[in-house]
Structures are given as structure tokens and as C-alpha cells.
Structure 1
Amino acid sequence: MEFAEAMRALDDAVVGCVRKRKKTPKLVVGRDYVTETTRLVDGRSVVFKHVEGSFSNPNGGVAELTANHLVRICADIAGPKTKFIELYAGCGNHTCCMAPQFPGGAFAVEIDPVLVEAARENFARNGVRAEIVCERAEDWIASRESPTNDRDVVLLVDPPRGGLDARTLDVVTREFDDVIYVACDCESLKRDIDDERVGFAARGFELTSLACFDHAPTSPRWIETVGVFKRREA
């Protein structure tokens, strides 16, 4: 406790200290979360809550560049009735940025209950009209009763480094026409494009844009890649 308080007194940037051990409750001195502001090209500033122990992007500057790239994409493809759905939504940061561009509303899916609660707080804090459910993305997409025609949906997927599992990839490429794929690992994205049975190429999608963002400049391996897919008209 003394060490934690000394750290907070030494540096105003330290908002809290957390001790975690397997068999004892988590000890928090100060806060166990940070807030981050992202400034968008449309003039909005959105504030996110990032909770200790759950995934969040450590590179705020590049995350802001990525968010603005996504906002520009959605400005071009959102129609008057279009709905936005995000799978693997985390704390709802993508949904917060893009939901206001979709008159049909926004819906998000995330498996981590801590992040789901943070997302609800982020939606409320930023005045975003969106819903989120706590469920595995692959279970939700396979069993859902879609409230709208999937052809009027822009779907964003931001899966872990392993990419989309086979079942989710099958549903995504079969039932949606506009897909934004945020890939932590470009190799997983390439695999999901090239899958001979249910990949984006096999299902008649065109890759309309591709952008790379170096969220981890100290690593030669991980480059965040954003691909935009549009189903070709028959």
C-alpha cells in the first residue's frame, strides 16, 4: 500500500496500482482503469474506458489513425437504412466511432463481461445509440435471429490473431455483402480470403481497399491490417 501510494504521489500519470495473485482478491489503490480520448475527422471526440486486465490497444496514436480510417470508410458505404454490427467488439471503441453514421442503429458482440460493461459505459458516455451482448461471436452469428436484412448491414470483424474460425467465416461470407475486416495478423486475413470453400474470394467478394497500421513498432511480426470487402453484383 505504501509503495502504491508513493508511486501515485511521484507521477500524476499513475492513476492506480493493482496487485493480482491467484488466491487472493485483487487489490486496487486508486483506479483500475484509464480513459482515453480519440479525436475524429468529423469533429467528434470520443472518450473510452480501458479496464485493467482486459485487452486494449497500447498505441493510442496509431489507434486514433485507425479509427479515423474506419470512419472515412463508413462515411462512404453507410446508406439511409444501413445497420452496423461489430463482432469481437472489446470495449466498444470501433462502435462508438462509427455508430453515429448508421441510421439503422448499431449492435456489438463481445465475450469478455468486463469489456461488455466498459462498452456500455462508453456508449452512454459518448451518447452512442448501440447495443452489446456478452456472447462468443461464433455462437451469436450462427444462432442469431437477425433483426434486419443482412444485406442492409455493414459488418465489422476484429478477431484475435487467429482470425475467423471456419463456422464464422462461412456465415460472414454467405450472409453479408459489406464486411470490414480488422486483422491483428495479416496471415490470418490472407487465409480467410483464400479459403477455397468459404473464403472471401471463393464467395465472390472484391477487396476494395487495404490499409496497414503499425500498432507495434517494436515488433517486426504484427502489423494491423484493415481490409474492406464488397460482394460483387451477380
Structure 2
Amino acid sequence: MNETLLIDHLGQKGDGVAKTANGPVFVPYALPGETVRVVRDGDRGQLVEIIAPAASRIAAICPLFTRCGGCAAQHMDEGLYKAWKRQQVVTTLERAGVAAPVADLVDAHGAGRRRVTFHARREGIGMMVGFMAARSHDLVAVEACPVLAPGLARAPAVAQLLANRLGGSNKPLDLQVTASDTGLDVDIRGHGPAGDKLRLSLTEAAERLDLARLSMHGEIIVERRSPLQKMGKAMVAPAPGGFLQATTLGEGTISALVVSALPKAKRVADLFAGCGPFSFRLAEKAQVHAVESEKAAILALTRAAGATQGLKRITSETRDLFRRPLLEHELNAFDAVVLDPPRAGAEAQARRLAASKVASVVYVSCDVGSFARDAAILIAGGYALEGVTPIDQFRYSAHIELVGLFRRAGKR
């Protein structure tokens, strides 16, 4: 049965939220102030009709919007969009009891995302390649995506051709395509080990597609050119499938915030360092100790550091910081610590930092909830959270990143 609702505000995921006598109802693609007709199922409402649209509603830039699950917010004007994303940070910190000034949202989309993952699976006699549909495991075929960087213009066609070569296994695949300075870097997951015949077929495909590198599950099938990414003064070849910030501008923006927060630091520990986007920039003025659990990422960092002139000393360590965080006596050797953990955050490391004498901590986070938890630990240990800057690399999605700066009282 249809029900008419008035949308009150936006939820964390971008859904319009209507207040009812039976609790909130979440309506995807509805905006505050709109009167909408929905089919209701518990606390979810499927949008049927917009009876009275909001002034903040705009036309989507992609014909697949609402079908493809990649974007949640193409229908919001700029003012509403920026306020919604910033409010995610404000609300989460307030709920955790963490007080801090939150800056305006920084747009770090730039030319677009430099990495994309396509899903592929057999449907009938062929391989279907695309993105996951909204709130579904169905696939939506994608010929072009407006949020991708120009370097990924060929990515849908590349993913389709490679999936066709792998279709005989009948296994669902993930094909991660990254734009590098030297061409496309592709890592395939889900297939399992490749035999000699398949390796030859994939090598021929990489030649035909002019790929820089092709790998499966992180194992290189063929590297025709080193897939380089510029990080400060360094040119880095990340490990196959290794982590990168979503956009080139995003990496530069976050790095600039990290470096500017530590103008006088002489020795910095870069924890969860990846392949070194912060390490290389920090090393222009300070000695850096980079710590990362992935051996391949540390190897990429070390190789690039050895080939780069004009940097102070960079040392590195492969270490699982979830199980073996740096201890107080190790941390106290540094003026500052930079953290960039995965979504789970860095609770164990935060507890050690709270007991340390480190003057400054710069925390880069891709999950506001785990950041708020760890921030509360640091604050309880004597740090002050001087400010938080929200960063928007994933335009039109609900995803938000941030940089938080912590100082011990009287220390800079």
C-alpha cells in the first residue's frame, strides 16, 4: 500500500528520513522538505512518486543513477550535498562525546577516481561485467562512469575483455583497474591460480590492451611497464592491488594537511604507511620511519626511496600494528606520529599513543566511527583534538574521509 510522507532530513547513507508515529522511515533518493509517495516495508520506503520536490533537487549526471549502487547523491545540489557530508562527521563525533571544531568539507574529487573495481560473472553463455546495483547483488552493465578519471576511460572495455578470457572457470570475479602514469594496472581476484595456458592467454590480452601490468591475486602475470604513481618527489610502483587514495587530488590534499600540521617535526613515525604517500612528502623535511603490515607495500616504498634524491632518511618496518602496536618506549623516539589505518581504526595503537609522550598525532581516517572511538582514547590520555577536516574523494557517495590533529598540551 502506498503511503505519503514528508521528508525531514538526510540520514548517514543519504536516504531521506521521514518521522512517523512508528519511528523513522528511510527513503532512498528523497530529499528534506519533499512530500513523497512510497511503498513502505518496515522502516524502509521505496520511492514511488515525488509529489512536491525540494528546491535542492537537481538532475543526475549519470543515466544509471538509482540503478547502479555506486552513487547515492547525484540528486542533491552543492549546498545540501556539502552540508550533508560535513554533518556526518559532526553528528558522529557528538554521539561519541568528542568535541572538536569541524572545518568545511574539502572537495578532493579532482579529475576523478583513479581506481575502480568491476564485478564479473557468467550469465547465460557470456560474462556480465559491471557494478553492483543499488541494494542488490545484481550487476549493472557500465559503458562509462562520470566519476572516473580520464585515465580509466577504457576500463569498462578492458574489464569485459579480460572477463571473457576468464569466463571458462564460471567463478565470480573482481577486476580492479588503476590508472597509473604509465598505463592501466589490473589485478584480478576470485579466479584462483592460473595455469600455463591461461597465463599465455592473459599475457596476450595485456599486450593487445596495452596494459602496464596484469596480476591475479597480487601475483604478477606480466609487467610490460612499471605502473608508476607520483608521490611527492618519488615515483612509486605500488604492489599489485595495493592500497591507493581514491583520487590524485585527494592524496595531495590529505598529504598537504599532514605535512602542514608538523612544520617542526624532526622524526616522524608513519604508521599504516602503505607504499608511502605521506612518508615521501614528510621526508622532504624530517626523518621518517614507515610501518606497514603488507610486505609488498613496504617493498614498493623501499625501492622508491632508494631511487629518489633530495629526501631525508626513510627507514621501514613490516609489522602488524593491530597485534603489535608500537610501544611507549618506541613511540617516544618520535616528535610526531601519523596514522592512516583501515576502516577498523587503530584502537590498540591509540592506547599506546595515549600512554606515550609524543607531542603531535595526525590521524587520517576513512571511517568516522572508528576515528571517534580512537579520538576519545587519545583525549583521555591527555591529547587535545585541535580540529577535524572532512575530505570528499568519493563524490556522490556516502563515503567521507577526514584528517584530525591531536596535540599534547603545551607542545607543538
Q: TM-score normalised by the shorter chain: which range applies?
A: 0.7 to 0.9
SS in 1 for 2:380: coil
The correspondence of residues 37-116 of structure 1 with structure 2, limited to 5 A, is 37-38=230-231, 45-75=233-263, 78-79=264-265, 82-102=266-286, 105-116=287-298
CA contact (8 A) 1:207 1:230 kept: yes
Partner of 2:382: 204
Matched, 1:141 2:326: yes
Quote the Cα distance in structure 2 between the aligned partners of 1:20 and 1:178.
Answer: 37
CA RMSD of aligned residues (A): 2.6
Whole-angstrom CA distance in 2 between matches of 1:112 and 1:153: 25
1:182 is matched with 364
Cα distance in structure 2, aligned partners of 1:126 and 1:72: 22
Q: Which residue of 1 aligns with 2:315?
A: 131
| Deviates most, 48-57 or 185-194 | 48-57
Question: Which has the higher Rg, Structure 1 or Structure 2?
Answer: 2
**AA at the equivalent of 1:17:** L
CA distance change for structure 1 residues 6 and 227 in 2, over 3 Å: closer, same or farther?
same
Aligned pair count?
208
> Are the counterparts in 2 of residues 96 and 122 from structure 1 also a CA contact under 8 Å?
no
Contact in 2 for aligned 1:207/1:229 (Cα 8 Å): yes
Q: Distance in 2 between matches of 1:218 and 1:122?
A: 34
- Kindly indicate whether the alpha-carbon contact (under 8 Å) linking 1:33 and 1:52 is maintained by their aligned counterparts in 2: no
TM-score by length of 1: 0.77
In 1, Cα distance between the equivalents of 2:235 and 2:409? 37
Shift of 1:99: 1.7
Preserved CA contact (<8 Å) 1:208 1:229:
yes
2:215 paired residue number: 18
- AA in 2 matched with 1:211: T
Structure 1 residue 27 displacement after superposition:
5.4
Contact map agreement 2:289 2:315 (CA 8 A) in 1:
yes
Q: CA deviation at 1:207?
A: 1.7
Letter in 1 for 2:367: D
What letter is aligned with 1:231?
R
Q: 1:219 to 1:8 in 2, by over 3 A?
A: farther
Q: Which amino acid aligns with 2:300?
A: A
Inter-CA distance 157–49: structure 2 relative to 1 (3 Å threshold) = same
Asked whether the equivalents of residues 203 and 221 of structure 2 are also in contact (C-alpha less than 8 Å), the reply is no
Percent identity for Structure 1 against Structure 2 = 22
C-alpha displacement of 1:60: 1.9
Match of 2:407 among 214, 230, 233: 230
Q: 2:228 aligns with which of 32, 35, 43?
A: 35
Are positions 1:171 and 2:352 aligned together? yes
The TM-score normalised by the length of structure 2 is: 0.46
SS in 2 for 1:200: helix
Cα–Cα, structure 1 residues 5 and 186, in superposed 2: closer, same or farther, change >3 Å? same
Structure 2 unmatched runs, 5+: 1-199
- Classify 1:87/1:32 alpha carbon distance in 2 versus 1 (closer, same or farther; 3 Å): farther
* Cα distance in 1 for residues equivalent to 2:378 and 2:217: 43
Whole-angstrom CA distance in 2 between matches of 1:110 and 1:70: 18
- 8 Å CA contact retained: 2:234, 2:305: no
Q: Which one of the candidate residues 160, 174, 197 is aligned to 2:342? A: 160
Other-structure match for 2:397? 219
Rounded Cα–Cα distance in structure 2 between residues aligned with 1:172 and 1:130: 21
Structure with the larger helix share: 1
Alpha-carbon contact 1:32-1:51 (below 8 Å) kept:
no
